[in-house]
Amino acid sequence: MKKHISSLIFLFLCFSVLGQTSKDDFYKTIPLAQNINSVSGKPFVLSSKTKIYSPKNNAGLKQIAVFLSEYIEIANGIKLQITNSPVKENAIVLENNFKDKNSEAYNFTANQNQVVINGATSAGTFYGVQLLRKVLLENETKSQIELSAVEITDYPRFAYRGMHLDVARHFASVEFVKKYIDLLALHNINTFHWHLTDDQGWRVEIKKYPKLTQIGAFRNETQVGKQVGVYDGKPHGGFYTQEQIKEVVAYAQKRFITTIPEIDLPGHMVAALSSYPELGCVGEGYEVYKKWGVSDDVLCLGNEKTFTFLEGVFTELIPLFPAKYFHIGGDECPKKRWEKCPKCQTKIAELGLRKDSKHSAEEKLQSYCMSRIEKFLNAKGKQVIGWDEILEGGIAPNATIMSWRSTQAGIEAVKQGHKAIMTPSSHVYFDYYQSTDAASEPLAIGGFTNLERVYSFEPIPNGLTEDERKLVIGAQANVWREYIESDAQTEYMVLPRLAALSEVVWTNADKKNYGNFLNRLSDFLKIYDKLKYNYAKHILEVSPEYKVDTENGQLILSLKTTSKSPIYYTLDGSEPTLQSKKYSESIIINSAVTVKAAVISENYKSKIFTKKFEFNKATAKPIVLENEPVDRYRFNGGKTLVDGRTGTTAFSTGDWIALYKDDFEATIDLKSLQQIKEVSMNTFTSQNDWIFGPKQFQVLISNDGINFTPVYSEDLKIAEKDDGPKITNLKAVFAEQEAKYVKIKAPIFEKIPEWHYSAGQPTFLFVDEITIN
């Protein structure tokens, strides 16, 4: 009997715990609120009779009430009345007098009579309304819905929560930009960084310089994919009138989003040079850029007209953008033209700029330009943001750094007392691939930042003092659109990674948990569905995990999904169906095979995962590297080269490893004496990514692992200026002989060649799959 009672108590405890959790869960959306406490009492019942109250003479809250009414109409199909006479019962009350030092904080309470959303400012109220909107959208569409009694206090971790959009490489309509801003609001992002000008197009009307949009906003044609020198023959372009800019800025402002314009200078200016050639060092022969990459043609800083031009542009932009910050670029500016330009050299002499151990005179010339523009903007009440290159040659005195190449520049900036915004390409470049299966993704610029990597991003680096930490004002994801042409593809690249970013910048780090996030995300995806956004569905598909078991000479493939439906797979190349083998444990691979797998239920089938595994004498054999790959492209180290998977031109998804400044040398242990006559290895070259092949390919063999005999050696040429990205199979064929060990040596080219915009810098060497037959 005693036993019986304790079981009953146990059961009761279970139920109450479960009950508690589900009540809390109702309000757990994305980003996760800082404090959610369910309280006792009956729930609030939202129905068509509920009224929305916003106080008299408060235009900000009135606007939020209108938004809320629209949101509820979309989520629940009911139209609520808005009133400014106080209502005691059945009302959603909007206020903005919550006492909190964080101006975007809010308090959200629900009880039987009222839901009260009270912000420290209207911005806070807006975020409370977003929370309500999201939980309604995540639930079934019902004209009557219970909101459990709760008390929520929430606030953002960072004051700067940014999303960027490049409209220069591919133009985006006003309509789409507004839709994009809606997305930002849905994810509690408060800053829209609008990249308006670049080599490939100038997108904002400047009345003093009409040719910028008559000429600079259009290009004759565009490079096809990554095929250097191949063009599509189709004109592309577009620009925003000043009226349209005002319209977008106001649209964002209503949603508590600040729009920061970027005029990228003094590089990335070919569109402007095509319109006004006298602003360049060469002075003629410019054409709006049709390809991607970095142009040597930049603004001539020895010409005073350049500064008149820039000041003229900013003078017209200042009234259009109320933002405190203006972004003035400063990235990827080759100094080649300035080195040869008499005007620039005269300017360098006049300013007394001298090369020192850290910086060239030309780098200091760029720094002079950035500081001069900063001074101009400071005088008009604006602060400047620049990409991290503006640290080179001395940073402009009050500039905020946008740290993109890594977080290192951000660390340097805050150590010098500057503010920093973290946007490292390693974690928050949404133009990068989001799946390792790059072959089934739309063509992307490269890179790899999947959802989990975005989520893992911590904007505050280790080792900063308390004061330095405060100078990291936030983080931002960037959406460069060289390879993103359509609105739908933009949404695909942004979603759901934006959901992960949202939590990085909003939720305190100690409350973040990836598994928990994924659970909430599966509900959050219903919002994308309801609002008809095109999002990437990887988390509902098959996600692979690869292992190389060198001890047993086999490959191990594990398949995962966050979908609740099971995975089915085949090994004979046929399409998986409900009749195929159901996945339950890792698949062992010890011969060449093609695996196809999908998440399948009665009424759903995910995209099919396909992976081809090759098998040869090197596959899954022990391999030792003489030099470690560079961190960023280390992946599975040497095992990456014997994992049966051949890398594609998507070079950063884990199929390739890269050396930087070091030579490649690998030794493979075949485990027994084998007859061999052919050794091959792939290398990848892509000049825009600083990737050049090896300068030599050598093969040596040995029976004891100590004494090696060379059997093959070939000298290789460095890539030429017009070579596109490509994979080369380096192959050694020799008279058949016996060997237990095979060594491959492939020394790196020390320097990027003279014709390149980064001439003299070290190169990367990418290598993949070694085959021995």
Q: Is 170 a catalytic residue?
A: no
Q: Is 262 a catalytic residue?
A: no
Does 746 help bind Zn ion (rule: CB under 5 A)? no
SS (H, E, C) 315-350: HHHCCCCCCCEEEEECCCCCCHHHHHCHHHHHHHHH
Does 336 help bind Zn ion (rule: CB under 5 A)? no
Active-site choice (104, 154, 198, 389)? 198
| 3-state secondary structure (DSSP) of residue 219 | strand
* Between 302 and 638, CB nearer to Zn ion: 302
Q: How many CB atoms lie within 10 A of CB 349?
A: 12
Q: How far apart are CA 369 and CA 380, in angstroms?
A: 17
CB of 316 to Zn ion, least distance (A): 25
B/e letters for 246-259, b = 16+ CB within 10 Å, e = fewer, are eebbebbebbbbbb
Cα–Cα distances in angstroms (integers) from residue 425 to residues 36, 396, 475, 476, in the given order: 33, 23, 12, 10
Binding residues for Zn ion restricted to 131-150, rule: CB under 5 A? none
Q: Pick the piece of the chain touching Zn ion (CB under 5 A) from 21-29, 41-49, 276-284, 413-421.
A: 276-284
Q: Is 198 a catalytic residue?
A: yes
Q: Where are the beta strands (DSSP E) in 266-330?
A: 325-329
In the stretch 298-317, what mask flags binding to Zn ion with x, by CB under 5 A? Answer: --x-x---------------
CB of 270 to Zn ion, least distance (A): 15
The secondary structure of residue 61, as a DSSP letter, is H
Burial of 59 (C-beta count, 10 Å sphere; 0-12/13-18/19+): exposed
Residue showing tokens 């491959």: 744
CA atoms within 13 A on the CB side of 12: 6
* Between 302 and 424, CB nearer to Zn ion: 302
In the stretch 282-301, what mask flags binding to Zn ion with x, by CB under 5 A? Answer: ------------------x-
Does 281 help bind Zn ion (rule: CB under 5 A)? yes
Does 273 help bind Zn ion (rule: CB under 5 A)? no
Cα–Cα distances in angstroms (integers) from residue 211 to residues 12, 222, 305, 313, in the given order: 76, 20, 16, 12
* Between 50 and 366, CB nearer to Zn ion: 366
CB of 343 to Zn ion, least distance (A): 5
CB of 245 to Zn ion, least distance (A): 30
* Between 302 and 693, CB nearer to Zn ion: 302
* Between 342 and 463, CB nearer to Zn ion: 342
Q: Pick the piece of the chain touching Zn ion (CB under 5 A) from 78-86, 145-153, 339-347, 591-599.
A: 339-347
CB of 338 to Zn ion, least distance (A): 6
Q: How many CB atoms lie within 10 A of CB 348?
A: 23
Say if residues 512 and 459 touch (Cβ distance below 8 Å).
no
Q: Pick the piece of the chain touching Zn ion (CB under 5 A) from 279-287, 570-578, 627-635, 670-678.
A: 279-287
Q: How many CB atoms lie within 10 A of CB 230?
A: 12
Q: Pick the piece of the chain touching Zn ion (CB under 5 A) from 334-342, 354-362, 434-442, 489-497.
A: 334-342
Q: How far apart are CA 658 and CA 662, in angstroms?
A: 10
CB of 301 to Zn ion, least distance (A): 6
CB of 317 to Zn ion, least distance (A): 24
Does 341 help bind Zn ion (rule: CB under 5 A)? yes
Active-site choice (268, 327, 427, 756)? 268
* Between 352 and 515, CB nearer to Zn ion: 352
* Between 366 and 502, CB nearer to Zn ion: 366
Q: Pick the piece of the chain touching Zn ion (CB under 5 A) from 280-288, 453-461, 612-620, 687-695.
A: 280-288
Q: How far apart are CA 516 and CA 522, in angstroms?
A: 10
Cα–Cα distances in angstroms (integers) from residue 505 to residues 29, 35, 600, in the given order: 15, 16, 35
Residue showing tokens 């790959």: 629
| # binding residues, Zn ion (CB under 5 A) | 6
| 3-state secondary structure (DSSP) of residue 185 | helix
Q: Pick the piece of the chain touching Zn ion (CB under 5 A) from 12-20, 255-263, 281-289, 585-593.
A: 281-289
CB of 306 to Zn ion, least distance (A): 8
CB of 278 to Zn ion, least distance (A): 11
Q: Pick the piece of the chain touching Zn ion (CB under 5 A) from 337-345, 528-536, 539-547, 664-672.
A: 337-345
* Between 346 and 516, CB nearer to Zn ion: 346
* Between 295 and 563, CB nearer to Zn ion: 295
Query: Can you say how many angstroms the Cα of residue 353 is from the centroid of all Cα atoms in its chain?
Result: 37
Does 92 help bind Zn ion (rule: CB under 5 A)? no
Q: Is the dihedral of CA 618, 620, 625, 631 positive or negative?
A: positive
Per the rule left: phi > 0, alpha: psi between -120 and 50, beta: everything else, 283 is: left
CB of 303 to Zn ion, least distance (A): 6
In the stretch 477-496, what mask flags binding to Zn ion with x, by CB under 5 A? Answer: --------------------
**CA max distance for the chain:** 100
Does 343 help bind Zn ion (rule: CB under 5 A)? yes
Q: Which two tokens stand for residue 167?
A: 């409209």
Say if residues 700 and 647 touch (Cβ distance below 8 Å).
no
Say if residues 727 and 683 touch (Cβ distance below 8 Å).
yes
Does 333 help bind Zn ion (rule: CB under 5 A)? no
CB of 337 to Zn ion, least distance (A): 6
Q: How far apart are CA 436 and CA 35, in angstroms?
A: 36
Residue showing tokens 């005693």: 2
Does 344 help bind Zn ion (rule: CB under 5 A)? yes
CB of 276 to Zn ion, least distance (A): 14
* Between 344 and 744, CB nearer to Zn ion: 344
CA atoms within 13 A on the CB side of 92: 28
CB of 284 to Zn ion, least distance (A): 13
Closest Cα to residue 429, out of 517, 488, 498, 514? 498
How, if at all, do strands 664-685 and 726-746 pair? antiparallel
The secondary structure of residue 677, as a DSSP letter, is E
Q: Which helix (H) or strand (E) holds 449?
A: none
Q: Which residues pair with 743 in a beta bridge?
A: 667, 700
In the stretch 232-271, what mask flags binding to Zn ion with x, by CB under 5 A? Answer: ----------------------------------------
* Between 343 and 453, CB nearer to Zn ion: 343
Active-site choice (332, 392, 441, 485)? 332
Say if residues 308 and 375 touch (Cβ distance below 8 Å).
no
Q: How far apart are CA 630 and CA 656, in angstroms?
A: 11
* Between 251 and 307, CB nearer to Zn ion: 307
Q: Which two tokens stand for residue 732?
A: 């050694």
Q: Pick the piece of the chain touching Zn ion (CB under 5 A) from 40-48, 335-343, 635-643, 753-761.
A: 335-343
* Between 341 and 772, CB nearer to Zn ion: 341
Q: Which residues bind Zn ion (CB under 5 A)?
A: 281, 300, 302, 341, 343-344
Give the residue numbers annotated as catalytic, written as ranges. 198, 268, 332
